[in-house]
Amino acid sequence: MDSVSEKLQIFQPVNVDESIAREEWHTYHPFTKSFKNSDEIEIVINQQDVFMDISQGELYIEAKFLEEVSTVVKTGKCSLTNNVGAFLFESITYELNGKLIDKVRDPGLISTVKSLLCLNQNESTALDVAGWNWPNGTVKSYEPETDNFSLLIPLNFLLNVFSDYTSAIIMGTQKLKLVRAKKMITVMLIQRETRKQTSPF
């Protein structure tokens, strides 16, 4: 009788297994092939069958010094600034389904002030791979032999939406737009030689 009565309980809530079976990392590349000053770089994600955790997103950058800059860098008189990855861009914008969600101008300045005020020593050390090396100020991923350096920047370091929103995003079209800085003056530190002037009198 018990089994029959249980079958008649048709108004009970349905038990659905909503546990996460696994997580995967996906790589998305920008459409543009030009990364010069003032260029717009767009990374578009258009997948309808996945749940995305944007709070774990990261921006990976590989760069190489030009030959004329490389000779100066190897003399030790030129180096990359602290937080160089953020200073590479003039503005960063995040859109979801065509709507502007978050935008930051001067991400280098904003993230530097935010990090100096909010990060503890352990958090600062964890951001070495992102180009944040306060107070040392040197990029540890720079390879003098090949003149290459690479950065892995958490997106929640650049935009507040990636740190404030920790739930999954269901479907939709996402666009990350990065505008390169107009000048490289905030990316490199150049030590100028000081010449001593002697007076003939």
With a cut of 50, list the residues of the chain below it in pLDDT.
196-201
Q: What is the pLDDT of residues 187-196, one digit of tens each?
A: 877 666 555 4
Query: What is the structure's pLDDT at 138?
Result: 59
Looking at residue 107, what is its pLDDT? 94
Residue 4 is predicted with a pLDDT of 66
Residues 6+ apart with CB under 8 A from 52: 45, 168, 169, 174
Q: What is the pLDDT of residues 42-60, one digit of tens each?
A: 999 988 777 888 899 999 9
Task: Give me the pLDDT at residue 25, please.
Answer: 87
Q: What is the pTM of this model?
A: 0.76
pLDDT of the residue at 11: 77
Domain 23-182 has CATH 2.30.30: no
Q: Do 138 and 79 touch, CB atoms closer than 8 A?
A: yes
- Please tell me the predicted confidence (pLDDT) of residue 23: 81
Q: What is the pLDDT of residue 111?
A: 94
**Cα 68 to chain centroid, rounded:** 27
Question: Could you write out the three-class secondary structure of the chain?
Answer: CHHHHHHCCCCCCCCCCCCCCCCCCCCCCCCCCCCCCCCEEEEEEECCCCEECHHHCEEEEEEECCHHHHHHHHCCCEEECCCHHHHCEEEEEEEECCEEEEEEECHHHHHHHHHHHHCCHHHHHHCHHHCCCCCCCCCCCCECCCCEEEEEEEHHHCCCHHHHCCCCEECCEEEEEEEECCCCCCCEEECCCCCCCCCCC
Q: List CB contacts of 16: < 8 A, sequence separation 6 or more.
A: none
